[in-house]
Structure 1
Amino acid sequence: MLPQWLVMDSKKWSFHEELRKWEGMMEGSESLQADGTATVKRPPGTCFPWEEKVKDLPPIQGDAELVQRVWRNIDALGYMYIWQVLLSF
């Protein structure tokens, strides 16, 4: 038996539609609406927004702005890596 995403019913298969479904499943912070649009609950280009991550960290003793900038840079690199792997293979 084939996985459901491989089964082609009477409708035409769309790569972008399937990609949106997989993104929603992997990230967990998107919800796919009935009309096919996605509602994103985080800024574009991020995996874990700073506003959520800072809640998990102990109080910052030093320069909080520096920690925030470093976190956002590292998070953006992770986001780009995921997309590069997805598009390369």
Structure 2
Amino acid sequence: MSEKEKLLNPNPGVCVPWEVKLEEFENFPGNEEIVKKEWEKLDDFAYNFIWFWAQR
């Protein structure tokens, strides 16, 4: 499986991987690790929210 296919089919528990989101920025201003940590928390919340409502 190519790297592009892995990004299009993320691991369970992930809606949009950080690597995909990072591609949207040309030059990332600031500390990437802080933003990555917050993005992963937000993405986890979104995944769980969708999962909760899909199971109802």
2:19 corresponds in structure 1 to 51
Give % identity. Answer: 31
TM-superposed CA distance for 1:57, in Å, is 2.1
RMSD value over aligned CA atoms? 1.2
TM-superposed CA distance for 1:42, in Å, is 1.3
Q: 5+ residue gaps in structure 2? A: 1-7
TM-score, normalised by the number of residues in structure 1: 0.50
1:75 to 39, 43, 55: 43
Higher share in strand:
1
Equivalenced residues, count: 49
1:87 corresponds in structure 2 to 55
Which of the pair has the greater relative contact order for Cα pairs under 8 Å at 6+ separation? Answer: 2
Whichever residue aligns with residue 44 of structure 1, its letter is P
Q: 1:8-87 maps to which residues of 2 (within 5 A)?
A: 29=8, 41-87=9-55
- Whole-Å separation in 1 of the counterparts to 2:42 and 2:17: 11
Structure with higher Rg: it is: 1
